Structure 1
Amino acid sequence: MTGPVLAIDQGTSGTKALVICPERGVIGSGSAPVRPRYGAGGAVEADPAELLGSVLDAGGQAVEEAGEPVAAVGLANQGETVLAWDPGTGRPLTDAVVWQDRRAADLCAGLAAHEEELRQLTGLPLDPYFAAPKMAWIRRELTREGVVTTSDSWLVHQLTGAFVTDAATAGRTQLLDLHDVGWSPAALEIFGLSDERLPALVDCAGPVGTTTRFGGEIPLTGLVVDQQAALLAQNALEPGNAKCTYGTGAFLLAQTGSRPRTSSSGLVSCVAWRLGGRTDYCLDGQVYTAASAVRWLTDLGVISGAADLDPVGSSVPGTGGVTFVPALAGLAAPWWRGDLRGSVTGLGLDTTAGHLVRALCEGIAAQVVALADAAAADLGAPLTALRVDGGLTRSTLLMQTQADLLQRPVEVSALPDLTALGAGAVARLGLDPHLPLREAVPEWKPCAVYEPRIGPDEAAARLDGFRAAVDTLLERP
């Protein structure tokens, strides 16, 4: 049995770290905020020093609280966030361009003729959400110097000196050949990145170097992208297993096994993880704004924070005819219209904060239903249930709304911080390659199960209202 591991989840709005013991569970934790900056033209940036500082602060807190040394480190990352940096010194040459950033939209429009080729090669639609358009935009607009990579490669270099990325994170770039799990010369050429020095591709579990940042010489043995880390920690190890994480955005992933499954319903096909040289794949759908939409309502003064969702939303019995399409950073899967913006319709003099909160919850839940329906169409069978995690699962109103509109049970994970737990699982596997996968991941158990409280006709009517509002947005020139 291996000793405790330090699992770090470097996310959009903060970093969470856990020290996880195989016998005793979580014995230390830490967290540190990150403050993305929002600007004109869809700009979303973060200070790289703040990203690294949050990793060191949160990790240091967790190790200190545990009060004992750790045997290995695992790191989960944001996926599509990129920056340019000097590989000789490690010095950042740009700010980190966050996954929500839309400034590569014009670049994508100029590459539209290659969209189907890219989808066949990489499993991903041509959209500024993914890393390659941002990398190409940085090269055109900001700097030609150094290397340009996803944020994990820079963080790993800062920690260990290695220049690597894992297969699951590479699958979020639109530069990875989905079938042979190697960098695609054709995709690199399309984006004008053929001359770039790219990080070595490694399995999600296995030693990539050592760090002294958390006391002593500690091997870094686990690397994985955030949503796939949560899928792993949700025990979604069989084809058809699905989960949704409600964080800054909402992300639904469904495991598809050892072969990539091309979506015909607008989802993304990508690497779930590569362990021991064996690749598992998943279907992936995104809602760009979930907690970030709650923060938007908070910034407007409608509510004082996410904790207000239930008390304010429960002050009224329904939406009062208000429909909220919370596409505040565009519509992702299955529509892929990042140019669109959100809408609130049906307002009246009697509209209250409660109606807006309920309409927001319904808008988030309806988008997740669209993702679940798309996954079911691609898998050839409906999802039997949906396992969920993330901060917004604390809202009874949102989770009940989700079950009502989905017409399936919604099972809330009993364990918080699943992305960090997934990073811990791959770190343990990297430390002990003979450990069975099922022994590395947490035992699955829900802390709550929400059953639908309305019938299918009412659910369909409410979804039709939301889809009509989306159709109105889609029809705009």
Structure 2
Amino acid sequence: MTGPVLAVDQGTSGTKALVVCPERGVLGTGFAAVRPRHLPGGLVEVDPEALYASVLEAGRAALAEAGEAVVAMGLANQGETVLAWDPATGRPLTDALVWQDRRAETVCAGLADRAEELRQLTGLPLDPYFAAPKMAWIRRHLTREGVVTTSDAWLVHRLTGAFVTDAATAGRTQLLDLDGAHWSARALEAYGLLGERLPELADNAQTVGTTRAFGPEIPLTGLIVDQQAALLAQRVTGPGGAKCTYGTGAFLLAHTGGAPRRGDSGLVSCVAWRLAGDTGYCLDGQVYTAASAVRWLTDLGVISSAADLDPVGGAVPDSGGVTFVPALAGLAAPWWRGDLRGSLTGLGLDTGPGHLVRALCEGLAAQVTELARAAATDLGAPLDTLRVDGGLTRSALLMQTQADLLQRPVEVSALPDATALGAAALARLGADPALSVAEALPDWKPAAVYEPRIPADLATERLAGFRTAVAALLGS
């Protein structure tokens, strides 16, 4: 089956939609903003109806611009955002708890003695970032009615009436048996969720239903969690490579092949995708604040927008001794201390905006470097290269800093919307199972390659300074 497909990336701060043709590329685009509420105490929530409305708005805009019929649709989702809803009517019963929300820390604290059991079983550490703690919190504090699922299952139900989630998104819940890629009774029991009606687990490329939400009937044939969609679009389909997406947070994924790797480096082991019944796995590391940290600097008036990173940071030769640990929503992998706050040290009367910008770029790049090193340790071999995508890759200062600290080439994707393009590839695969994965993927070439410009000993020195600052936080 040939023809354009509609790909929708429902993200944290907005929904992006593309109409993608295998021969002619992107024919139409649409975007609709989403505005989560950040509340005291680390609470982050969003109106589910706003998520669905954004899918419709972005999708309709992309289809209108393309002016052509599509043969299938793919949907990428946020991963760990959850809500309770009525399966009979599709009506939300709660707000959606966004992946950044920390209110389920109490649930995790009560399961501390089962943390290692759950990690071995599901590949995920015990942390309120994941879906299961939020699901349990909703059941304990908000409602026992309806079903409680990740946001994708609700969106799919609203679009098609089906009750499904994909294997990769299920792997973000801490309710999936990692080795068997099926729901785990032991994990459900641990969270007090035994007896819950859970979505059917679908392959990432298969027909799950049809939708008329955009006008004509469109089969929904691709489902995926956002970071795995980007991994696929970056053509990292086997061990040795990794990608990092610099969005609201920064997310590094390294493919591990057909078997999960459970290392001791603090990374998450999860499903990359399941295609035609075959499961591929990846290691996953998170930085909770990337573009959101840049937005924080903007809100303080240090810069006026992310476009200022290069001119303001480029006005000074270095960070002037300033070290920034941008843990503004806690430290994720490999430390898993979501309770910690960020730190800004080494300030002086001579510290200017450029020093703060450079310190932020170094702090972000250092965290990603720690993730890449952890992945290499768990894989038993260094990563060849790092392929990167996301809005912050437009900053040459950040990308050069990343290459310097990593001491590896950083290849910036020429694909500005890797997540949506990954969803598009899966939609094509689901609509035409005769295609190979390689045939379904977009051509890949870097828009830029950043090579390290500083010697290894200077990179080691800068990383050591960052680690010292992190150690001070961990000991506080």
Aligned to 1:32: 32
Distance 1:191 1:121 in 2: 13
Distance 2:178 2:345 in 1: 41
Q: Is the 8 A contact 1:69 1:215 kept in 2?
A: no
Distance 2:163 2:107 in 1: 27
Distance 1:336 1:388 in 2: 23
Superposition pairs of residues 49-448 of structure 1, within 5 angstroms: 49-448=49-448
Distance 1:119 1:240 in 2: 24
Distance 1:49 1:330 in 2: 28
Q: Is the 8 A contact 2:327 2:342 kept in 1?
A: yes
Tell me the alpha carbon deviations over residues 161-192 of structure 1, each in whole angstroms, 9 at most, x when there is no partner.
Answer: 11100000000000000011110000000000
Distance 2:107 2:342 in 1: 23
Distance 1:309 1:23 in 2: 36
Q: Is the 8 A contact 2:422 2:441 kept in 1?
A: yes
Tell me the alpha carbon deviations over residues 451-470 of structure 1, each in whole angstroms, 9 at most, x when there is no partner.
Answer: 00100011011100000000
Distance 2:41 2:15 in 1: 27
Distance 1:38 1:144 in 2: 25
Distance 2:416 2:165 in 1: 26
Aligned to 1:453: 453
Give secondary structure in 1 for the equivalent of 2:198: coil
Deviation at 1:215? 2.1
Deviation at 1:16? 0.4
Tell me the alpha carbon deviations over residues 12-52 of structure 1, each in whole angstroms, 9 at most, x when there is no partner.
Answer: 00000000011101111111101111001110011111111
Give secondary structure in 2 for the equivalent of 1:256: strand
Tell me the alpha carbon deviations over residues 125-153 of structure 1, each in whole angstroms, 9 at most, x when there is no partner.
Answer: 00000000010011111111111100000
Tell me the alpha carbon deviations over residues 92-125 of structure 1, each in whole angstroms, 9 at most, x when there is no partner.
Answer: 1111100000111121011000001100110000
Distance 2:351 2:264 in 1: 39
Give secondary structure in 2 for the equivalent of 1:41: coil
Deviation at 1:303? 1.0
Give secondary structure in 2 for the equivalent of 1:424: helix
Deviation at 1:240? 1.9
Q: Is the 8 A contact 1:30 1:61 kept in 2?
A: yes
Structure 1 residues not aligned, in runs of 5+: none
Distance 2:360 2:164 in 1: 40
Q: Is the 8 A contact 2:8 2:15 kept in 1?
A: yes
- Read off the aligned partner of 1:139 and give its amino acid letter: R
How many residues align structurally?
476
CA RMSD of aligned residues (A): 0.7
Deviation at 1:305? 1.2
Q: Is the 8 A contact 2:240 2:384 kept in 1?
A: no
- Read off the aligned partner of 1:322 and give its amino acid letter: V
Distance 1:447 1:36 in 2: 32
Q: Find runs of 4+ consecutive structure 1 residues off by over 3 angstroms.
A: none
Distance 1:195 1:298 in 2: 47
TM-score (norm 1): 0.99
Distance 1:217 1:67 in 2: 15
Structure 2 residues not aligned, in runs of 5+: none
Q: Is the 8 A contact 2:45 2:101 kept in 1?
A: yes
Deviation at 1:302? 1.2
Distance 1:141 1:306 in 2: 39
What is the percentage of aligned positions where both structures have the same residue? Answer: 78
465-474 or 313-322, larger mean C-alpha shift: 313-322
Q: Is the 8 A contact 2:240 2:382 kept in 1?
A: no
Q: Is the 8 A contact 1:263 1:283 kept in 2?
A: no
- Read off the aligned partner of 1:350 and give its amino acid letter: D
Q: Is the 8 A contact 2:313 2:357 kept in 1?
A: yes
Aligned to 1:23: 23
